[in-house]
Amino acid sequence: KNQVEQSPQSLIILEGKNCTLQCNYTVSPFSNLRWYKQDTGRGPVSLTIMTFSENTKSNGRYTATLDADTKQSSLHITASQLSDSASYICVVSARTGKLIFGQGTTLQVKP
């Protein structure tokens, strides 16, 4: 069964600290993996899209990694800011075109 599992479910960190969010998937055949940021009550916004041949992709303070062998991805946030408080959603695209969404990790950055 195609599944995307994210951990932790929620996370609280202090402003300026780094954090890493995890995404494990069992989607096959794999096409690409996406990370989205969703502010409360807003639409998701794309952070990165990675194919199986890409190990790392950065977008400002956000760095995503992908290990296609172990079917794991992580999103690392450096020097967190209050505006990073949001839900982060991992989405895996199967080669069929189907998108499988994770449940998201809710990040709260405190001053």
User: Rule CB under 8 A: which residues touch another protein?
Assistant: 31-32, 34, 36, 41-46, 49, 89, 93, 95-99, 101-104
Round to whole Å and give the CA distance between 58 and 13.
Answer: 21
The token pair that represents 83 in the structure block: 């505006």
Whose Cβ is closer to another protein: residue 49's or residue 78's?
49
Min dist. Cβ of residue 84 to another protein (A): 19
**What is the DSSP annotation of 2-56?**
--EEEE-SEEEEETT--EEEEEEE--SSEEEEEEEEE-TTS--EEEEEEETT--E
Min dist. Cβ of residue 111 to another protein (A): 24
Whose Cβ is closer to another protein: residue 68's or residue 99's?
99
- Angle (CA) 29 45 40, round 5°: 120
Min dist. Cβ of residue 72 to another protein (A): 19
Whose Cβ is closer to another protein: residue 17's or residue 42's?
42
Whose Cβ is closer to another protein: residue 29's or residue 111's?
29
